[in-house]
Amino acid sequence: MTTGTAAPSRPSAPRRPEDSIGGTVQAYVDKLRGGDVGSLPAILGFIALVIFFSAMRPDSFASTRNAANLLNQAAPVIFIAMGLIFVLLLGEIDLAAGFTSGVGAAVLVVLMTNHGVAWPVAVIACVATGLVIGSVMGALVAQLNIPSFVVTLAFFLALQGVLLLVVGEGGTISLTNETILAIMNKNLSPALGWVLTVLVVGGYAAIAVLGSISRRKADLPVTSTSVTAAKVGALAVIMVAVTILFNQERAVNPAIKSLKGLPLIVPVTLVFLLVLTFLLGRTAFGRHVYAVGGNAEAARRAGINVPMIKIVCFAIGSVLAAFGGVLFASYNNGVSPTTGGSSTLLYAVGAAVIGGTSLFGGKGRIIDAILGGLVVAVIQNGLPLITQKSGIQFIVTGAVLLLAASVDALSRRRSAATGR
Amino acid sequence: MTENTQNAGGEPILSLRGINKSFGAVHVLKDVGLDAWAGKVTALVGDNGAGKSTFVKGIAGIYAFDSGEYRFEGKTVTVNHPKQSAALGIEVVYQDLALCDNLDVVQNMFLGREMRSGLTLNETAMERRAQETLAGLSVRTLKSVRQKVSSLSGGQRQTVAIAKSVLWNSKLVILDEPTAALGVAQTEQVLQLVRRLADNGLAVILISHNMNDVLRVADSVCALYLGRTAAQIDARSTSTTQIVELITSGRSGDLGLPPALAQEAVA
């Protein structure tokens, strides 16, 4: 306190080095050097992989049709990963998320196809199934203090069995409902695509500006207008480019059936991104989730009901996984005993970790699931175009997951060393 | 011990008399007493195992005392739960600080007691209030209240933990070894902060092993010896030697426990 070199604690002069664009870039570089790489590996990886596969397979990979397919392919994994982020933020793991989505899909399809239940009721039943699975797992972890690894491994096995029993061994139940199939198979009209673009960019700008205004009113340091403008500009460029790309005709034979516009899954995912990001970033519940992941003892002493937070996070994770099951059912036109099985869980964990969510808890954002999910989908989509050997595909995917986990562990070590 | 209480200084805000606490057969606190005054730093000293931690946890309501009188602001109160002590305005800063490394300074200060507007967190109000609190304590060592706690030094963390404890109009702050893990410069900063808390009108109980720290900031010193209060004395009229004697043998000259009691405690 006597040093007198530090800046005043109550900066009424809001001009700080971080305020300029140069300062913001410098602060970001410092952050990276400090080990907090965030989503940068995912973004760079995505760009590198797209360039690589486009160069290798210019006809099959680099087509707008494949791009649309890629988004739909990525969606179920992205949803499971969004749910996993809640669990990972606590420093826990949910190994059953894959089969939770499978069971969710089975509940949906069996109710609709075998029992003729209306789609809203079936979707609610599917989500409720996820809610029950997640709550029970969460309660076992939080109340009985069984390691989540063991609880969810048990559920992984048991839910696999449930899926087999519900669907029947070797059987496949098909889904014909137009509404559910539309989620993964229909597109927005080009005009609606532009409306969405304007809404997203305008909404983002509005939130940024309103935030700045309220901070300025409170006499708090404000991000400079140029930095905000640069961020909004970058988002606008990306959104416009994506919209133009997907608004092109991509049908094999447009005369028979036209195929253009942003896939319907894009706005659906954006809505979830918005709601869940709000939940984690702007509510007391979200703050408490980060606190429990950072230091559960400190959270407990602050009066936070730690077991309740854990149960709710597992429940949210499983609900989102069950919703991922709806997407699987929509994408595959039905459900089979392997829906949500094999590598689904690994892809989802990989997506979250590649996106920048830490396996050690306390660090992660919902957008990580989307960025990481796209990287996973590019590998999943591009590799079969290069090699037919599924052995190689497994090895590459495993290596990528390991690479992401190493980046996470190394950045954590670096953070500890540099104190960030 | 009461006869040894030489601090006049008006009515104490916290006054404990005849406190007993046993864990099974182990009688940890025997007729312990302590006074703490608003605007004063009361040091609680004692060797390892003298019962300091148990005593403080009892004051905070983590354990219930078996018997004894617990008076706060002149009224006899019952404190059996941390929420009851918090409601009275008693805050404890434990040695491990209980901060979340992955959250920033503001988020840590308001953890569990976030200010909201409707469904959402009121970040601007919390940031302002945090800055005001830190300014009120003349804290100038934090670059930004939006930096993560993981990026702070030990002294800065202690500062945040202390600022967190005074955020809620608390009346009594108990600090458990706040300088134990700090270097010289940071110890100095934290001690100044401790002094400032008292100067701002709070009652402060400082647990410390460091006699220099104690004599630098404390107004009153309460020494525990094997579960008994050896004496509570005015810091101005004592010396390091005297405090060390009270800590190690329960007596110093005609101060402290009667010889019989001091002996019995050893036996």
Q: Do B124 and A220 touch (CB under 8 A)?
A: yes
- Share the mean pLDDT of chain A: 87
CA atoms of B73 and A65, how far apart (whole Å): 75
Closest CA to A400 of A376, A368, A364: A376
Q: Specify the pLDDT at position B266.
A: 54
Chain A residue closest in CA terms to B109: A302
* pLDDT, tens digit, 9 for 90 and up, residues A232-247: 999 999 999 999 988 8
Residue B66 reports pLDDT greater than 50: yes
Place of tokens 């077991």: A307
Q: Is A210 within a domain?
A: no
Residue B5 reports pLDDT greater than 80: no
Q: Is A44 within a domain?
A: no
Question: Tokens at residue A318, please?
Answer: 């499983």
- Share the mean pLDDT of chain B: 86
Contact list in A for residue B60 (CB cut-off 8 A) is none
pLDDT band at A331 (very low <50, low <70, confident <90, very high): very high
Number of domains in chain A: 1
Report H helices in B52-183.
Answer: 52-60, 82-88, 105-109, 123-136, 154-166
Q: Do B135 and A9 touch (CB under 8 A)?
A: yes
Q: What is the DSSP-derived secondary structure letter of residue A10?
A: S
Q: Give the gap in angstroms from C-alpha B10 to the nearest C-alpha of chain A.
A: 31
Place of tokens 């699987």: A328
* pLDDT, tens digit, 9 for 90 and up, residues A270-294: 999 999 999 999 999 999 999 999 9
Q: Specify the pLDDT at position A418.
A: 63
CA atoms of B88 and B172, how far apart (whole Å): 9
SS3 A302: coil
Q: What is the DSSP-derived secondary structure letter of residue A37?
A: -
Q: What is the DSSP string of A82-106?
A: HHHHHHHHTT---TTHHHHHHHHHH
Place of tokens 């933020």: A89
Could you tell me if A4 lies within 8 Å of chain B, comparing CB atoms?
yes
* Ramachandran sector of residue A394 (left: φ over 0; alpha: ψ -120 to 50; beta: rest): alpha
Backbone phi and psi for residue B23, each to the nearest 5 degrees, phi listed first: -110, 105
The residue count of chain A comes to 420
* pLDDT, tens digit, 9 for 90 and up, residues B83-116: 888 889 999 998 888 899 999 999 999 998 888 8
Residue A1 reports pLDDT greater than 60: no
Q: Is A214 within a domain?
A: no
Contact between residue A352 and residue A317 where contact means Cβ atoms under 8 Å apart: no
Closest CA to A381 of A73, A98, A41: A73
Mutate to test the interface with B, among A285, A295, A365 (most CBs of B within 10 A): A295
Q: Is A40 within a domain?
A: no
Q: What percent of chain B has pLDDT over 90?
A: 28
Domain that holds residue A79: 74-186+263-407
Residue B29 reports pLDDT greater than 60: yes
ipTM of model over 0.90: no
CA atoms of A258 and A256, how far apart (whole Å): 7
* Ramachandran sector of residue B118 (left: φ over 0; alpha: ψ -120 to 50; beta: rest): left
Q: Is A298 within a domain?
A: yes
* pLDDT, tens digit, 9 for 90 and up, residues B171-183: 999 999 888 878 8
- Residue pairs spanning A and B at CB distance below 8 A: 115
Q: Do B192 and A288 touch (CB under 8 A)?
A: no
> What's the whole-number mean pLDDT along residues A398-402?
85
pLDDT band at B7 (very low <50, low <70, confident <90, very high): very low
CA atoms of B1 and B255, how far apart (whole Å): 10
Contact list in A for residue B101 (CB cut-off 8 A) is 294-295, 362
Q: Specify the pLDDT at position A131.
A: 96
Mutate to test the interface with A, among B92, B107, B117, B131 (most CBs of A within 10 A): B131
Residue A8 reports pLDDT greater than 80: no
Q: Give the gap in angstroms from C-alpha A1 to the nearest C-alpha of chain B.
A: 5
| CA distances for B230 relative to B3, B37, B261, angstroms | 11, 19, 10
Q: What is the DSSP-derived secondary structure letter of residue A111?
A: I
Mention every residue, 6+ apart, whose C-beta is less than 8 A from residue B254. Answer: none
Give me the sheet containing B203-207, strands edge to edge. Answer: B90-93, B172-176, B203-207, B41-46, B220-225, B228-234
Torsion of Cα atoms, A249 then A250 then A256 then A258, to 10°: -50
Residue A163 reports pLDDT greater than 60: yes
Q: Specify the pLDDT at position A274.
A: 94
Q: Give the gap in angstroms from C-alpha B69 to the nearest C-alpha of chain A.
A: 26
Q: Is A227 within a domain?
A: no
Dmax (CA) for chain B in angstroms is 63
* pLDDT, tens digit, 9 for 90 and up, residues A56-70: 888 888 888 888 889
Q: How far is CA A95 from the centre of its chain?
A: 16
CA atoms of A125 and A162, how far apart (whole Å): 16
Chain A residue closest in CA terms to B112: A302
CA atoms of B136 and B139, how far apart (whole Å): 8
Mention every residue, 6+ apart, whose C-beta is less than 8 A from residue B142. Answer: A6, A9, B105, B134, B152, B156, B159, B160
Torsion of Cα atoms, B180 then A420 then B142 then A364, to 10°: -110
CA atoms of B8 and A213, how far apart (whole Å): 53
Q: Is A237 within a domain?
A: no
Mutate to test the interface with B, among A1, A12, A306, A412 (most CBs of B within 10 A): A1
CA atoms of A95 and A97, how far apart (whole Å): 6
Contact list in A for residue B82 (CB cut-off 8 A) is 301
> What's the whole-number mean pLDDT along residues A212-220?
85
Q: Is the dihedral of CA B92, B265, B70, B2 positive or negative?
A: negative
Report H helices in A168-305.
Answer: 178-185, 190-217, 225-246, 265-282, 284-294, 296-301
Interface of A with B in 24-53 (CB under 8 A): 34
Mention every residue, 6+ apart, whose C-beta is less than 8 A from residue A175. Answer: A108, A109, A112, A113, A181, A329, A330, A333, A334, A335
Q: Specify the pLDDT at position B2.
A: 42
Contact between residue A41 and residue A376 where contact means Cβ atoms under 8 Å apart: no
Least confident of A98-102, A115-119, A133-137, A416-420: A416-420
Q: Is A319 within a domain?
A: yes
Residue A22 reports pLDDT greater than 80: no
CATH number at residue A109: 1.10.3470
Q: Give the gap in angstroms from C-alpha B100 to the nearest C-alpha of chain A.
A: 5
* pLDDT, tens digit, 9 for 90 and up, residues B134-158: 888 888 888 888 888 988 888 888 8
Q: Do A6 and B140 touch (CB under 8 A)?
A: yes
Residue B35 reports pLDDT greater than 50: yes
